[in-house]
Amino acid sequence: MGLFSSKTGTTDQHSTATVIATGCSITGTVQLACDIQIDGEVEGKIISEKSIVISHSGKVKGEVYANNVIINGTLEGTVHADSIEILEKGQINGSIYTDKLSIDKGGLFLGNTNPRKNDQVTSISSNEKEMLIKPENKSSHEKEMLIKPESKKNINK
């Protein structure tokens, strides 16, 4: 994959990708708008608006969110993607959320498959909202927990 334009030696917007090189290790959240190729190790959360490629030497442990995920290395955790492709040397151990799954001969998947969740937000009914808001719907113990410590002294006087 070419990362540089042949004309100027600068990064071309159409071929731009982030590479986590072999020997590089990242812990935390990686969020990007371009493709990412992982040859090293990432532990945490990876969010890409495009594709995530985990090469043969790549290892990921955590949560992955992308349009496309291609795995030829190792991934342990949860994957949310429009399409997931496990190549010949790829391994996933965990849960995947996708509507398009491809596993090449030799690829390994241990875990659960689920349809992609397009709507991650859970709605609360108006009746449930009232129960959460109104203190009179709480037990005495729950009411005490709602009161700030400094205002609790004034109530007991």
Number of alpha carbons in the 13 Å side-chain half-sphere of residue 55: 13
Name the residue ranges covered by the structural domains of the chain.
17-114, 126-156
**Are 96 and 111 in contact, with CB atoms under 8 Å apart?**
yes
Does pLDDT of 94 surpass 50?
yes
Residue 3 or 31, more confident? 31
Structure tokens, 51: 């594709």
Paired residues of 29 in beta bridges:
45
**Strand ranges (DSSP E) for the chain?**
17-20, 25-32, 35-38, 41-48, 51-54, 59-71, 74-86, 91-97, 100-103, 108-114
Q: Model confidence over 110-140: pLDDT tens digits? A: 999 999 876 443 344 555 545 544 445 444 4
Residue 13 or 41, more confident? 41
Burial grade of 42 (CB within 10 A; 0-12, 13-18, 19 or more): buried
* pLDDT of the residue at 130: 54
Q: Model confidence over 30-88: pLDDT tens digits? A: 999 999 999 999 999 999 999 999 999 999 999 999 999 999 999 999 999 999 999 99
Q: With H, G, I as helix, E, B as strand and everything else as coil, classify residue 131.
A: helix
For residues 116 and 82, what is the distance between their CA atoms, to the nearest angstrom? Answer: 7
